[in-house]
Structure 1
Amino acid sequence: MRKIPSRSTSLMLASVSCLGLLAVAACGTSSDASADGDSAVNGKTGQASPNAPTRTDLTVGFVPKQVGTPYFDVADLGGKHAVTGLGSTFEEVGTDDGADSAAQASRLNALIQQDVDAIAVSAQDPKALCPTLRQAGDADIDVVTYDSDTDPECRDIFISPASAEDLAVRQLEELGKQTGYKGEFAILSAARTATNQNTWIGYMKHELKDPRYKHMTLVDVAYGDDEAQKSYDEARKLLQTHPKLKGIISPTTNGIKAAAKYLSASRFKGEVKLTGLGAPNDMRQYVKDGTVEAFLLWDPAKLGELAGRAAIALASGQITGREGQMFLAGDMGWFEVAAGGVVTLGEPTVFDATNIDNYDF
Structure 2
Amino acid sequence: MSVMALMPARAQDAKRWDGADDLATEPLDCAMAGAAMAPAADATADASMAEATPAMMAAPEYIGGAATGAPDLAGKPITLIDVPKLIGIGYFDATTKGQQEAAAELGNVTVKTDGPTDANIDKQITFIDNAITSGVNGILFAANDPVAIAPVLKKALAAGIHVVGYDANSEPDAREWFVQQALPNGIAKVMVDDMATEKGDSAAFAIVTSTFTTPNQARWIAEMQAYQEKCYPNMKWLETVEAQEDAKVSFDQATTLLNKYGDQLNGLFGMTSVATPSSADAVTQGNA
2:116 matched residue in structure 1: 95
Q: 1:92 to 1:259 in 2, by over 3 A?
A: same
1:69 is matched by which residue type in structure 2?
Answer: I
- CA drift of 1:97 comes to 0.8
Residue 42 (structure 1) aligns with: 65
C-alpha change, 1:178 and 1:112, in structure 2 (3 Å) is same
Matches within 5 A, 1:178-327: 178-210=198-230, 212-243=231-262, 244-267=264-287
State the AA in 2 paired with 1:41. G
Q: Classify the secondary structure of the residue corresponding to 1:259.
A: helix
**Structure 2 Cα separation of the partners of residues 136 and 44 of structure 1:** 8
Distance apart, 1:201 and its partner CA: 0.7
Aligned with 1:161: secondary structure? coil
Whole-Å Cα distance in 1 between the matches of residues 63 and 206 of structure 2? 41
1:85, 1:56 → 2: CA distance?
A: 15
TM-score (norm 1): 0.60
- Give how far 1:227 is off: 0.4
Distance 1:122 1:206, change over 3 A: same
Structure 2 counterpart of 1:170, one-letter code: V
3-state secondary structure, aligned to 2:257 = helix
Q: Once the 2 structures are TM-superposed, how far is the Cα of residue 192 of structure 1 from its aligned partner?
A: 2.0
Flag as ranges the 4+ runs of structure 1 deviating above 2 A: 43-47, 52-56
Q: Is the 8 A contact 1:192 1:225 kept in 2?
A: no
Structure 1: 5+ residue runs without aligned partners?
Answer: 1-5, 9-28, 31-38, 270-361
Residue number in structure 2 paired with 1:355: none
Contact 1:123 1:150 in 2 (8 A): yes
Cα displacement (A) at 1:232: 0.4
Separation of aligned partners in 2, 1:46 and 1:113: 16
2-structure distance, mates of 1:64, 1:255: 17
Aligned pairs for 1:36-115 (under 5 A) are: 41-44=64-67, 54-87=74-107, 88-98=109-119, 100-115=120-135
Question: Which of these residues, 156, 177, 181, is aligned with residue 161 of structure 1?
Answer: 181
Asked if the contact 2:85/2:144 (under 8 Å) is kept, the reply is: yes
1:66–1:263 distance in 2 versus 1, CA, 3 Å = same
The alignment's TM-score, normalised by the length of structure 2, stands at 0.75
* Aligned residue identity for 1:229: K
What does residue 311 of structure 1 align with?
Answer: none
* Superimposed CA distance per residue, residues 229-253 of structure 1 (whole angstroms, 9 cap, x where no aligned partner): 1110100111111120001111111
Letter in 2 for 1:215: N
Cα 1:174–1:46 change in 2 (3 A) is farther
Letter of the aligned partner of 2:80 in structure 1? V
User: 154, 161, 172: which is aligned to 1:134?
Assistant: 154
RMSD: 2.7
Classify 1:53/1:125 alpha carbon distance in 2 versus 1 (closer, same or farther; 3 Å). Answer: closer
CA pair 111-7 structure 1, distance change in 2 beyond 3 A: farther
1:146 counterpart residue number: 166
| TM-aligned CA deviation for residue 92 of structure 1 | 1.1
**Could you say what secondary structure the match of 2:229 adopts?**
coil
Quick check: which one's helix share is greater? Answer: 2
Q: What is the aligned counterpart of 1:119 among 139, 142, 146? A: 139
Change (3 A) 1:43 1:57: closer
CA contact (8 A) 1:84 1:90 kept: no
